[in-house]
Amino acid sequence: MESSHLAYLNVKEIKPKKTGHNPLLNEKNREKLTGYLFIAPLIIYFLVFQVAPILMSLYYSLTVWDMRKSPVFVGIQNYASLLFDNLMYPNFWPSLWVTFKFILIAMPFSLIIPLLLALILNRKMKGQAFFRTAFYIPVVTPGVAVAAMWKWILDSMFGLVNIFIKNTPLVNVVIKPHSWLGEVGTALATLAVMAVWGGLGYNILIYLSGLKIIPGELYESAHVDGASGFQKFRYITLPMLKPTIFFLVITGFIGHFQVFDQMYLLTKGGPNDSTLSYVLSLYNHAFTYYEMGIACAMSYILLLIILIVTLLNFKFVPQKVDD
């Protein structure tokens, strides 16, 4: 009896004690907590370096602030002055018009030339990988290096373009040597050519991605029906590329609206403000004239313009493949 009683006491002693339920020890909650900890740096970065500057710039757009003194709240006066006071801000509307002209020149070529090159590179050919890499190099090249290269190529005295024109009789009859970046008639178009060249590789890559997902059976069926190469392109390739083209139109408009590098590095908005883009004018107000309130207001006007253009693209540019 004693031995059995002792065994009973020992069992009672080693029996685990009950503890209160802790939700943090739950496996599901631990997984959630681990996930939140992993994404915490990104959330902190987004809040500190994205959301906070957006809200601060919105406030500063309603103030007069030269970054030396405390901002003075003036409401929507900055917006009204930019839109209606041409004497105080004479470059607002001209810079916006320059940006629209730049888009009208660059956008068609930014869509058509990469498409033609993508169609060529999508075929089996020797050196395919080399050409794809070569076209993409400008995308990853620093803007300062690209600007220096183009400045040398377009130099009015020793540039390769003018040397080629001078030494090619057939070309010399049609085109004369120019100061391509120094004349009002050619400066903006020259910068547009540079922008098309700089974005060529990216657009080709996007087009190639779109071409790869087109089913080969469609081309085989069209070939059996006797369709020509142009008919295949018109009735198969273009309709199937509608989502890709829509994406490039949206991103192209947004990118060209924010054009800045070429103008700032090569022309500073000249000659005679013919290349003064909207963002370059915004930069001048912020860091040359120290009108940070005006610059912030211009940034929100630009946001509104881009939003309107994007909504118009969503309405009028085909987005889906026809059923």
Q: What is the pLDDT of residue 77?
A: 96
Walk along the chain (323 residues) in steps of 10 and give the mean pLDDT of each run. Answer: 51 51 66 88 94 95 93 96 94 96 95 94 84 89 90 89 87 84 93 94 94 90 89 92 93 93 92 95 95 96 94 84 65
pLDDT at 322: 65
Neighbouring-strand partners of residue 64: 72
Q: What is the pLDDT of residue 317?
A: 82
Q: Is residue 34 part of a domain?
A: no
Has residue 227 been placed in a domain?
yes
124 occurs within a structural domain: yes
- Residue 42 domain-assigned? no
State residue 35's pLDDT score.
86
Q: What is the pLDDT of residue 266?
A: 93
Q: CATH number, domain at 105?
A: 1.10.3720.10
Position 144 in a domain: yes
Q: Determine, yes or no, domain membership for 61.
A: no
Range of the domain at 105: 85-316
Please choose, from the candidates 182, 147, 141, 175, the residue with its C-alpha nearest in 3D space to the C-alpha of residue 161: 175
In contact, 298 and 260? CB cutoff 8 Å: no
* pTM summary value: 0.85
Q: For residues 281 and 95, is the Cβ–Cβ distance under 8 A?
A: yes
CA distance 255 to 207: 17
48 part of a folded domain:
no
Q: What is the pLDDT of residue 132?
A: 85
Written as one string, the DSSP assignment of 189-241 is HHHHHHHHHHHHHHHHHHHHHHHHTS-HHHHHHHHHTT--HHHHIIIIIHHHT
Domain count, the chain: 1
Q: Specify if 300 maps to a domain.
A: yes
Give yes or no for a contact between 187 and 275, defined as CB atoms under 8 angstroms apart: yes
> Across the strands, what pairs with 172?
none
